[in-house]
Structure 1
């Protein structure tokens, strides 16, 4: 899943080396925390959050059941 998030986000940003995805797995859910360069934050979020929503939709769809755990994607400042 981390690879999928990086594959989606890296082409969108000016600083692809600064893209980092950290997985925080808990008993009932998995939270992927995405961080990018501060200058790229607007590109990842998009106008009215449309790009962020699209990324989340893809990630949630790809996760499927993920072994019965709920999957979340947080975009960190």
Structure 2
């Protein structure tokens, strides 16, 4: 499954404003990097307490990448 689609499905269920969700994919030689931008009001929800939510999302994406034998990294691009 496409990592952008996986991230989109997960994040759509978390954010209050799904229209503001943007995911950009960058293919590096050694990995796939996903940059995520959400509504400023949703940043706290995506990060979660002590970063637990975003770390859980990264774990799921890592598992999806392991199946394709390519690491996947997720970065939150909001300032």
TM-score by length of 1: 0.90
Equivalences, count: 76
Unpaired segments ≥5 residues, structure 1: none
Map 1:1-77 → 2, pairs under 5 A: 1-64=3-66, 66=68, 68-77=69-78
Unpaired segments ≥5 residues, structure 2: none
Shift of 1:65: 5.1
Partner SS for 1:64 = helix
TM-score by length of 2: 0.88
Shift of 1:28: 1.3
Query: RMSD in angstroms over aligned alpha carbons?
Result: 1.2
Partner SS for 2:13 = helix
Q: Please give the alpha-carbon distance, in whole angstroms, between the structure 2 residues aligned to 1:72 and 1:57.
A: 10
